[in-house]
Amino acid sequence: AQSVSQHNHHVILSEAASLELGCNYSYGGTVNLFWYVQYPGQHLQLLLKYFSGDPLVKGIKGFEAEFIKSKFSFNLRKPSVQWSDTAEYFCAVNAYSSASKIIFGSGTRLSIRP
């Protein structure tokens, strides 16, 4: 069965620090990959997505993610975080064979110290 792992449950950083959140998935075929963000008290919003092409994907608010097929990974990065990045981040995977069902990771809570 497909699964998505986010190993960091809670990450605490200071403003201007660099961020990398890990995401690994288990599926050997073609996948679409997503990162969603949930700001406190709000619904999930799409940060970025990878369908095909350049494995380095740029999203909104300065976020980027790199798809490394050999490592089954899609890590999220930001060179310099801001206090407003405090949120929960979810990695998600859709495998072409799964009738459009998207599997979400358990989420990583990011806290930024001002």
Partner 1 sequence: DSGVTQTPKHLITATGQRVTLRCSPRSGDLSVYWYQQSLDQGLQFLIQYYNGEERAKGNILERFSAQQFPDLHSELNLSSLELGDSALYFCASQGQGNNEQFFGPGTRLTVL
Contact set with partner 1 (CB under 8 A):
32, 34, 36, 42-46, 49, 51, 90, 94, 98-104, 106-107
Nearer to partner 1, 100 or 114 (CB): 100
Nearer to partner 1, 53 or 114 (CB): 53
How many Cβ atoms from other residues are within 10 Å of residue 64's Cβ? 16
CB of 96 to partner 1, least distance (A): 9
Rounded distance between C-alpha atoms, residue 108 and residue 20, angstroms = 11
At CA 84, angle to CA 103 and CA 94, rounded to 5?
Answer: 15
CB of 101 to partner 1, least distance (A): 5
Q: What token pair was written down for 61? A: 């608010």
